[in-house]
Structure 1
Amino acid sequence: MPTRRAVTGRSREPRARFAEELRHLRTARGDSLRQLGERLGWDWSLFGKMEKGETVGGPEVVEALDQYYGTPGLLLALWELAISDKTQFKERYRRYMALEAEATSLWHFSVSVVPGLLQTPGYARELLAAGGFKGAALDQQVEARMGRQHLLTGDDPPPFRTILSEAALRTPLRSATEWRGQLERLAEAGEQGDVTVQVLPQSAGTHGLVSTDVWFLRLPGGRPVAYTENAYWGELIEESVKVERLQRAYDVVRDLALSPSESRKFIMRILEEMSCSPSI
């Protein structure tokens, strides 16, 4: 069994420290990424991404690595530190926000949540509260999110297209009044000249973005970048090959979605259903 080394003394950033340890253990064993993948039964590219810090993987693969390298618990402990650290997420998000401010157009797809650029204050507050914000911090986050919306209302706003999964329209807020206000906001947004709202009905079936919320920004000069996110972290993607792959999946989703006019009718039908519901 290799000697278990102290966690300190190398990178102080948890995610980078985790990636460094993975690289060290593999090279010390003399394995290539392909060999590691073959021996553990995972796609070797996953290990490459983990060693670059692009992903931390899941607990199952980390436990398998601990067993393979004879380091029981070490990698899992580093992994837990890496997933709890928000520093890298904040840095990537700040970078994304800076790019968003200079984008010439924006495209978006959501699996289950209305995009921040079209959220009402009530929707944003409940969503952020569910994420753990409260008190003054919650007020601050809601205000910041509402401030972002000036991007669509200022002089010469960039064209914005959002495709919303039906699930995003069927997951209500606790307050029926606030939820109605959010649906009305979406219906009205589609009437803005620079905003396009489309709905992807559940009947469309599975697709390449079935578990991925994604933003695409077209930057001055035409270069696109992508940003994928979930409730806990996000990833800014600037590598052209990866962006193109996501764009192809997005194009399929757009082809499956209802037209803007049919999407507005779909939202209005949900509002009518709310009016007819005895619990509303």
Structure 2
Amino acid sequence: MPQRRVVTGRSQEPRQRFAEELRLLRAERGVSLRELAGELGWDASNFGKMESGRSLGSPEVVEALDQYYGTPGLLLALWELAVGDPSQFKEQYRRYMVLEAEATSLWHYAVSRPPGMLQTPAYAREALSAGGLKDEELEQQVIARIGRQRVLEGDDAPPFRVILSEGVLRNSLRDPGEWHEQLEYLLAAGGRPNITLHVLPFGTGLHGLASTDVMFLRLLDGRAVAYAENDVRGELVEETSRVEHLHRTYDAVRDLALSPAESRTFILRMLEEVPCEPST
């Protein structure tokens, strides 16, 4: 079995480190991309893109490579680090992603879509596809988005309060079965001890976040930052006075929302209206 390399002895960037390891292992085995493709059954171009860092590939491909090279778990571990690397996200999100991973508590208000941390893979795929992504880039971003959900998992997961505008729950996916799955996921998330979920129903009037998604993060040093996003731009807000103003607006919206118990009942009623079988 090839000797495991010390990660710190090479690239410190997770994506580059993963690609570098793939190149080194193939060179040690002495096979071409075409020969590798013939052995494993995937197109040679897929392996070429992974070795150049243009693609991370899927976990199935990475597991097959681990088995082929005799490196049980090594490549999959590096792949998981690369998927969780903030560089997988668009430039304007990267600093926010780093801060999100370190947050001690989070608050979110959603205008038209569930927050990425509460999306199913099917929802993330349709949402990102609607934004123009496709093929490998689309799948890469789906994996990266779903990977963010690890922040909310585990015994030491931070508390997360989310307010969903009713519009989030009315703007369904094309496939009823996938939409049913997304609503069930929100319902289950609201039942987790670290997640508090509110629904803001239609008819509560205009408010300061009517067209703005916003996430607040409480950091280890006690500071709070916010990421505010509308249809045309997103902005990381770190100035204390602006963050406090946004948070007061958020608190006012929370006062208009249904309680967690009422919100659960609201989502349950919506689930009853949606067929659980996929459309044909």
Give the whole-Å Cα distance in 2 for the aligned partners of 1:90 and 1:109. 21
Contact 2:211 2:230 in 1 (8 A): no
Amino acid in the other structure paired with 2:226: A
Contact 1:102 1:220 in 2 (8 A): yes
**Residues in 2 aligned to 1:268 and 1:118: alpha-carbon distance in whole angstroms:** 17
Q: Structure 1 vs Structure 2: percent identity of aligned residues?
A: 64
Aligned equivalent of 1:114: 114
- What amino acid is aligned across from residue 247 of structure 2 in structure 1? Q
Q: What is the rounded CA distance, in whole Å, between the counterparts of 2:226 and 2:214 in structure 1? A: 7
1:250 pairs with 2:240: no
Shift of 1:229: 1.3
Task: Return the letter of the residue paired with 1:118.
Answer: L
User: Counterpart of 1:187?
Assistant: 187
One-letter identity of the residue aligned with 2:193: G
Unaligned runs of 5+ in 1: 1-88
Shift of 1:219: 0.6
Q: In structure 2, what is the Cα distance between the partners aligned to 1:261 and 1:203?
A: 19
Shift in Å, 1:155: 4.2
Cα contact 1:215–1:227 (8 A) shared by 2: yes
2:164 corresponds to: 164
Q: CA deviation at 1:233?
A: 3.2
Q: What does 1:97-136 correspond to in 2, within 5 Å?
A: 97-136=97-136
Aligned alpha-carbon RMSD (Å): 2.0
2:143 corresponding residue in structure 1: 143
Shift of the 205–115 alpha-carbon distance from structure 1 to 2, 3 Å rule, reads same
Question: In structure 2, how many angstroms separate the alpha carbons of the residues matched to 1:273 and 1:215?
Answer: 30
- Residue 147 of structure 1 aligns with an amino acid whose one-letter code is G
- TM-score (structure 1 length as normaliser): 0.65
* Separation in structure 1 between the aligned mates of residue 181 and residue 275 of structure 2, nearest angstrom: 13
Preserved CA contact (<8 Å) 1:131 1:231:
no
2:197 maps to which residue? 197
Task: Give the length in aligned residue pairs.
Answer: 191
What SS is found at the alignment partner of 2:216? Answer: strand
Q: Could you tell me how far 1:273 is from its partner in structure 2?
A: 1.8
Gaps of 5+ in 2: 1-88
- Contact in 1 for aligned 2:224/2:238 (Cα 8 Å): yes
Output the amino acid matched with 2:132: G
Match of 2:3 in 1: none
- Provide the C-alpha distance between the structure 2 equivalents of 1:98 and 1:164, rounded to a whole number of angstroms: 24
Counterpart of 1:188, as a letter, is: A
Over residues 142-161 of structure 1, what are the superposed CA-to-partner deviations in whole Å (9 max), with x where a residue is unaligned? 00111110111134110001
Pair 1:231–1:133, CA change in 2 (3 A) = farther
Amino acid corresponding to residue 206 of structure 1 in structure 2: L
Contact kept in structure 1, 2:176 and 2:275, CA below 8 Å: no
